[in-house]
């Protein structure tokens, strides 16, 4: 993406910046730089302030502590937090006043709007179901060692040695029926395309199912899936489609 940009701004990396980070358990922690940014690299905050000024917004403070103080002033859940308190250890929001210890567990006494509300909806089958031509349901997802497209995690040798090649999980019963063995090269095809992978025998999938991760650019599994969207959430149906397996013909 940088090659497509007209201007590339050299942002400092995480160990080179000061600020705070809020984790998914609501814990706010203070981050101090371990290194100075190299060359012309600057913090994201500095870059945003410069952009704001060049766009006519005027000079603004670029001190991370001032920014956090403004955040605490505007967001009630952070109101009791400050750099001084965070320097002593992380705090979990809500932390509404300076004497508050933070909230380790949310909703101990109940939920703000009461109990959960359930809304029944009519069952709607998948857009595409298996048939004689495409007898398997392909399920897609992740593996432990990679993240989404895998373009960065696969650059890490420790992760790459764990899992660095596309595979399709197939139940041993289905594999025997097709004459496939562990490690065999196969083509997996749907009505939209086909990709190549290696067989991995697995009891985790049923005989009528297959599983494949979407981390591999050399086997982009979403070439096989559908773009039809759920009418409510507008999410494409990328998790299941009908496919068949074709053993790779040895030349």
Per-residue model confidence as pLDDT tens digits over 180-206: 999 999 999 999 999 999 999 999 999
Instruction: Map tokens 């809500």 to a residue.
Output: 94
Find residue 239's DSSP bridge partners. none
Residue 1's pLDDT band (cuts 50, 70, 90): confident
The yes-or-no verdict on residue 37 having pLDDT over 60 is yes
User: Rounded to an integer, what distance in angstroms lies between the CA atom of residue 118 and that of residue 208?
Assistant: 32
User: Measuring CA to CA, how many Å separate 152 from each of 17, 37, 98, 157, 214?
Assistant: 21, 22, 41, 11, 14
Q: Are 167 and 198 in contact (CB under 8 A)?
A: yes
pLDDT at 251 over 60: no
By C-alpha distance, which of 74, 10, 82 is closest to 44? 10
pLDDT digits (tens, 9 = 90+) for 85-101: 999 999 999 999 999 99
pLDDT of residue 237 exceeding 70: yes
Segment 165-180 mean pLDDT:
94
Higher pLDDT, 31 or 151: 31
Summary count for the chain: helices (H), strands (E): 5, 9
Q: Where are the alpha helices (DSSP H) in the chain?
A: 44-52, 64-74, 83-86, 157-162, 172-178
Q: H-helix or E-strand containing 141?
A: strand 136-141
Q: What percent of the chain has pLDDT over 70?
A: 98
Q: What pLDDT does 233 receive?
A: 82
Give pairs for 43-49: CB < 8 Å, separation 24+.
43/11, 43/12, 43/16, 43/17, 43/18, 43/19, 44/11, 44/12, 44/17, 45/17, 45/19, 47/9, 47/11
Does pLDDT of 114 surpass 60? yes
Residues 6+ apart with CB under 8 A from 69: 82, 83
């Amino acid at each position: 993406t940088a090659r497509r940009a007209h201007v590339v701004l050299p942002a400092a990396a995480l160990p080179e910046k000061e600020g705070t980070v809020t984790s998914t358990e609501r814990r706010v922690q203070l981050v101090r730089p371990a290194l100075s940014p190299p060359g012309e690299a600057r913090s994201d905050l500095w870059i945003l302030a410069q952009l704001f000024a060049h766009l006519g917004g005027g000079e603004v403070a670029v001190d991370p502590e001032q920014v956090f103080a403004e955040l605490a002033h505007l967001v009630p859940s952070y109101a009791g937090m400050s750099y001084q308190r965070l320097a002593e250890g992380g705090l979990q929001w809500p932390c509404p006043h300076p004497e508050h210890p933070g909230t380790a567990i949310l909703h101990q006494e109940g939920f703000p709007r009461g109990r959960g509300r359930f809304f029944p909806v009519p069952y709607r089958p998948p857009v595409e179901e298996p048939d004689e031509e495409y007898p398997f349901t392909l399920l897609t997802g992740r593996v432990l060692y990679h993240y989404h497209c895998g373009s960065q995690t696969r650059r890490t040798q420790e992760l790459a040695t764990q899992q660095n090649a596309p595979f399709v999980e197939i139940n041993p019963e289905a594999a025997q029926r097709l004459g496939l063995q562990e490690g065999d090269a196969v083509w997996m095809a749907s009505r939209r395309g086909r990709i190549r992978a290696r067989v991995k025998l697995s009891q985790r999938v049923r005989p009528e199912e297959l599983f494949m991760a979407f981390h591999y650019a050399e086997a982009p599994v979403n070439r096989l899936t559908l773009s039809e969207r759920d009418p409510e959430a507008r999410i494409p149906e990328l998790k299941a489609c009908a496919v068949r397996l074709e053993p790779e013909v040895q030349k």
